[in-house]
Amino acid sequence: MTVETLRPASQSAALEVLRRVFGYDSFRGPQAEIIERVVAGGDALVLMPTGGGKSLCYQIPALVRPGTGVVISPLIALMQDQVDALRALGVRAGFLNSTQDPFQRREVEADFLAGELDLLYLAPERLRSESTMRLLDRGNVSLFAIDEAHCVAQWGHDFRPDYLELSALHERWPGVPRIALTATATQATRTEIATRLKLEDARHFVASFDRPNIRYRIEPKSEPSRQLLTLLRGEHPGDAGIVYCLSRASVEKTAEFLGRNGITALPYHAGLDARVRSANQARFLREDGLVMVATIAFGMGIDKPDVRFVAHLDLPKSVEGYYQETGRAGRDGLPATAWLGYGLSDVMQLRKLIDASEGDLAHRRRQSMHLDAMLALCETVECRRVQMLGYFGETSAACGNCDTCLTPAQTWDGTVQAQKFLSAVYRLKRERDQRFGAGHIIDILLGKENAKILQNKHQKLTVFGIGDELSEGEWRGVVRQLLAQRLLAVEGDYGTLALTEDSGVVLSGTRQVLLRREPPKAARAKSARPAKSGATDQASAELPADAAELFEQLRAWRATVAKEQSVPAYVIFHDATLRQIAARRPGTLGDLGGISGVGEAKLARYGQQIIDLLAESDPSR
């Protein structure tokens, strides 16, 4: 049977499920096409940004098609929350993973075999077990959904070896449709996903990668912890957010620093006891206003809609990773901030890590290309959103909601300064066959007669003192950009600097070097608060005083209910739904059922409580 012959029925059934179960009146973007494809039995590869509604693309087909939809997800720690959220909607959902005891597993397996589950979540490693495969053989599987499908990419930003085994799904159950979903993938990664999962015949659906409600800001590091504190106190007091650090030590240090300064911050990294990690993650999901300080091990699949900021204290290794991590902010469509501080040491450290990588030459080249693209995003004088979307093959116009749009940076001709620095590197190499780090070379150019310079007699070099037209900080910016443009290389265990093949054309004067000049800090601060995006529902973002007070009462009610049920608050209702209730003040259950996000199950369970709360708070009473 073809998609065309099923289309009217699948459209009607899917839309009925969307309204009845999830409480929404219409599909967004390509959701309707994707759902039609899978309901009709076709395979699909879906790229859709975080917060774009990927889950509905397999949840609704699983509710429309006969049988149980099997979802393969690497997010064991979050499966309970995912299942709780579905059960709150009246969906029969369960999971099988290593956190369960034998009795719990047998109970879920019995429900599956009895046809009493709409959705079953599995960790990818369970499919390596023959007992799990036999279990699926005995049941009725309606579809396979492969979530976080970028994990299959060998050199992607979150590789999981177990995902390589998922091609067995097509071999063992060739008649069961498969849908692979991810929030980030370049054309090359998309091709790799299709090849490794044997999805060559799948239809590709690529939604826009744009998240217009997120304001992207990248600035040089000075005192990163203090810069972070200024961001949180000045722009996001009391907001939930995520701070990413490169190392475990940095995670611990940053969480402690924020705690000392009155901000509730929790650490998350692989070195913590598993129970501590789980408890911290649960608190972040269930409590308002917490800040999670984490390595990139945290965040994938976190369905917390009200994360108002994501901050990076270290340079991400790739644009894909950066996009994936920043995408955890503003899933509710309201304004959010993606802030990144990066410096010369970040560039040198990542270059050194690439050189020391255990991968082959092709792998190191791929890593270098990823880093080059990330550096280009950091150093661009054009719109950051245009640059980032262009990386994923999407064209766009200047957004007006990133730092380079709001406070444009300027370029300047840094050819002479580049020649001075490269000459100093060359002369140090020629003089004693020694190589030195950036700080020492900058001291030479500034004419500092410190102990190290005098000991090595570097005050006698012809380049000594010829760079006093720039400050030390400005010189570090020059070096950072020379590394970004591959006019300098990092070598050895101590991060020493050396010339590259391209250095010669600069030294000979045949290549101009344009550098980015940072805008004044005072000017940057004026437009620091995220503006309301055109994609944001203004009515729900800005509430009148009486509605704002009612919204807070609804949030307090939600927090109490969530605590009683031991589930995250968003499982009860999202903020966006509560904002609409506060703004419209529905007087009957029928009116409440017309609010976006209020499906039949939630209306039956919570409707009267909300109507009573609204009546008690009615100022006309």
pLDDT, the chain, mean = 87
CB under 8 Å, gap of 24 or more: what pairs does 462-469 form? 462/427, 463/420, 463/423, 463/424, 463/427, 466/420, 467/417, 467/420, 467/421, 467/442, 469/417
Whether residues 72 and 189 share a domain: the answer is yes
Residue 573 has which token pair? Answer: 């209702």
Domain boundary among the residues 473, 494, 526 is at: 526
pLDDT reading at 294 higher than 80 = yes
Cβ neighbourhood burial of 501 (10 Å; 0-12, 13-18, 19+): exposed
* Contacts with 34 (C-beta within 8 Å, 6 or more apart), sequence order: 44, 46, 57, 179, 205
Centre a 10 Å sphere on the Cβ of residue 323 and count the other Cβ atoms it contains.
25
pLDDT reading at 609 higher than 50 = yes
- The strand pair at 265-268 and 68-72 is best described as unpaired
Q: Does 277 fall in a domain?
A: yes
How many whole angstroms separate alpha carbon 277 and alpha carbon 280?
Answer: 5
> Do residues 284 and 569 lie in contact, with contact meaning Cβ atoms separated by under 8 Å?
no
pLDDT reading at 155 higher than 90 = no
Phi, psi of 465 (to 5 degrees): 80, 10
**Residue 520 — pLDDT band, cuts 50, 70, 90?**
low
Whether residues 8 and 36 share a domain: the answer is yes
CATH no. for residue 126? 3.40.50.300
Whether residues 198 and 252 share a domain: the answer is no
Q: Does 278 fall in a domain?
A: yes
pLDDT tens-digit map of 215-272: 999 998 888 999 999 999 999 999 999 999 988 999 999 999 999 999 999 999 989 9
Domain boundary among the residues 499, 526, 553 is at: 526
**Residue 5 — pLDDT band, cuts 50, 70, 90?**
very low
How many whole angstroms separate alpha carbon 145 and alpha carbon 163?
Answer: 12
Give SS3 for 297: coil
Q: What's residue 179's pLDDT? A: 96
CATH no. for residue 500? 1.10.10.10
> Do residues 335 and 533 lie in contact, with contact meaning Cβ atoms separated by under 8 Å?
yes
Running DSSP on this structure, what letter comes out for residue 182?
E
Q: Does 374 fall in a domain?
A: no
Q: Does 359 fall in a domain?
A: no
Mean pLDDT comparison of 153-167, 293-307, 404-418, 478-492, highest-scoring range: 404-418
How many whole angstroms separate alpha carbon 186 and alpha carbon 388?
Answer: 11
Whether residues 447 and 585 share a domain: the answer is no
Residue type, 522: A
Whether residues 12 and 119 share a domain: the answer is yes
Whether residues 574 and 496 share a domain: the answer is no
Greater confidence (149 vs 532) lies with 149
- Reported pTM: 0.81
Q: Does 532 fall in a domain?
A: no
Residue type, 395: T
Give SS3 for 157: coil
Residue 497 has which token pair? Answer: 């600097």
Q: Does 355 fall in a domain?
A: no
Instruction: Write out the DSSP string of 89-125.
Output: TT--EEEE-TTS-HHHHHHHHHHHHTT--SEEEE-GG
Residue 512 has which token pair? Answer: 């101009």
Number of structural domains in the chain:
4
**Residue 540 — pLDDT band, cuts 50, 70, 90?**
very low
Residue type, 53: G
The dihedral built from the CA positions of residue 264, 269, 211 and 16, taken in this order, carries a sign that is negative
Q: What's residue 434's pLDDT? A: 63
Residue 125 has which token pair? Answer: 């490693």
* Contacts with 545 (C-beta within 8 Å, 6 or more apart), sequence order: none
Query: How far does the chain reach from its first CA to its final CA, in angstroms?
Result: 59
Expressed as residue numbers, the domain containing 299 is 214-342+380-407
Query: Mean per-residue pLDDT for 539-566?
Result: 85
pLDDT reading at 2 higher than 70 = no
Q: Does 131 fall in a domain?
A: yes
**Residue 4 — pLDDT band, cuts 50, 70, 90?**
very low
What is the maximum alpha-carbon separation in the chain? 88
Q: What's residue 535's pLDDT? A: 32
Whether residues 401 and 418 share a domain: the answer is no
Centre a 10 Å sphere on the Cβ of residue 304 and count the other Cβ atoms it contains.
21
Whether residues 287 and 436 share a domain: the answer is no
192: left (phi over 0), alpha (psi -120 to 50) or beta: alpha
**Residue 495 — pLDDT band, cuts 50, 70, 90?**
low
- The strand pair at 44-47 and 68-72 is best described as unpaired
Q: What's residue 597's pLDDT? A: 92
> Do residues 418 and 505 lie in contact, with contact meaning Cβ atoms separated by under 8 Å?
no
pLDDT reading at 302 higher than 50 = yes
Q: What's residue 34's pLDDT? A: 95
Phi, psi of 390 (to 5 degrees): -60, -35
Among 47-51, 111-115, 478-482, 597-601, name the one with the lowest average pLDDT. 47-51
How many whole angstroms separate alpha carbon 190 and alpha carbon 205?
Answer: 11
Q: Does 557 fall in a domain?
A: yes
Whether residues 221 and 159 share a domain: the answer is no
Q: What's residue 534's pLDDT? A: 33
Q: What's residue 82's pLDDT? A: 87
- The strand pair at 514-517 and 214-220 is best described as unpaired
Domain boundary among the residues 389, 407, 425 is at: 407
Among 198-202, 401-405, 492-496, name the one with the lowest average pLDDT. 492-496
- The strand pair at 514-517 and 410-413 is best described as antiparallel
Q: What's residue 529's pLDDT? A: 41
> Do residues 1 and 41 lie in contact, with contact meaning Cβ atoms separated by under 8 Å?
yes
Q: What's residue 253's pLDDT? A: 96
Q: What's residue 300's pLDDT? A: 63
Cβ neighbourhood burial of 527 (10 Å; 0-12, 13-18, 19+): middle
Running DSSP on this structure, what letter comes out for residue 54?
T
Whether residues 176 and 83 share a domain: the answer is yes
Whether residues 594 and 479 share a domain: the answer is no
Whether residues 219 and 196 share a domain: the answer is no
pLDDT reading at 524 higher than 60 = no
> Do residues 172 and 133 lie in contact, with contact meaning Cβ atoms separated by under 8 Å?
yes
Query: Mean per-residue pLDDT for 519-547?
Result: 50
